[in-house]
A = this chain, B = another copy of it.
């Protein structure tokens, strides 16, 4: 069995810890694969790598012990008996040795305050990138891995204003050579390092600075598949399942208001205005793209500490039907964010490794259903996106038989 490394940026965060814990429990048959799309019928014949083949490492800007962090996170998640952690305590200790200090370079104040070390370490951009390359390669070599997939699960960065050089890899390289510090945030340093190390890369965060067009070009040149942005786990997931219903039934959306409250670290960072803008932006496009017009719509995200890892959203949808009749649909979503995200991360690692194995390079549009803002994909309807994934599966299976 091939050994697949999964290198997590933000390895001590809720989602990463849930990914790791879940994988360990799955290997021991102590939990189920519920929530993993790749474990359902249509993907049975696809020869994706098994979860058992995955080994975890990564980096985090915070100091922290993986076992203790796991304990804290399980306490906030209503579903799990804390006792199970003991069964994987040894494995957690071993994985912890593969987690290194990360960078919060140019990430803004909210993230900077979380960081155990200063965001500004006096290194040039090239040096920052090289350092990450070193970490990834070290992880691969020391664990005897056949492949490493890099996944960004770090906190949301402030919105990056894109300049011309963010659209052209040659121009971007020029900026990096000139050490133009404002051109990159930490997330781009990781992406650049991953791609140049030949690692498939997934941006599961809303940070728009993590996978801009120049970096997609870099991926194409380096023959690695990449995809993002922003895992679609909750309110936007439901939105993308419901909005096509209104469109297909020719019901006119008048207003779609969304209020999100959440209590974890994600929420704490999003409580900061500049970071929240990234998130709201990636949630925002969905409606217009699905409906073909832009109704009145506001999305609020509030930090409510008592909720822990729970995320609650109230959406109010005001719509108009025949004879001008006004009606409404409201929904309340109550999910545990990490439990929703983690199985998707495992899916994405499998698809990224699979794509790399098949020689895919650049964007993976067939993964659109996983993202709030799927790069390069205009289709935002959930079921339509899911059809794209099924089409991909069918094509690759035909190809492999041919």
By a beta-carbon cutoff of 8 Å, the part of chain A in contact with chain B is: 18, 21-22, 25, 31-37, 39-40, 75, 77-83, 237-238, 241-242, 244-245, 247-252, 254-255, 257, 259, 261, 296, 298, 300, 302, 304-307, 312, 314, 316, 318, 320-336, 339-340, 342-343, 369, 381-384, 386-387
Instruction: Give the chain B neighbours of A238 by CB distance below 8 A.
Output: 242, 245, 329
Instruction: Give the chain B neighbours of A387 by CB distance below 8 A.
Output: 387
Besides A80-B324, A327-B340, 8 other A-B contacts (C-beta < 8 A): A34-B320, A77-B323, A237-B249, A255-B307, A306-B326, A321-B335, A325-B336, A328-B333
Contact B329 A333 (CB under 8 A): yes
Contact B322 A343 (CB under 8 A): yes
Contact A323 B245 (CB under 8 A): no
Contact B82 A75 (CB under 8 A): no
Closest-CB distance, A350 to chain B (whole angstroms): 13
Instruction: Give the chain B neighbours of A254 by CB distance below 8 A.
Output: 306
Contact A34 B252 (CB under 8 A): yes
Given A314-B314, A329-B332, A383-B383: A250 touches B343 (CB 8 Å cut-off): yes
CA–CA, A22 and B322, complex, Å: 8
Instruction: Give the chain B neighbours of A34 by CB distance below 8 A.
Output: 250-252, 320-322, 324
Cβ-defined partner of A255 (8 Å) among B37, B77, B306? B306
Closest-CB distance, A29 to chain B (whole angstroms): 13
Contact B321 A259 (CB under 8 A): no
Cβ-defined partner of A35 (8 Å) among B321, B334, B382? B321
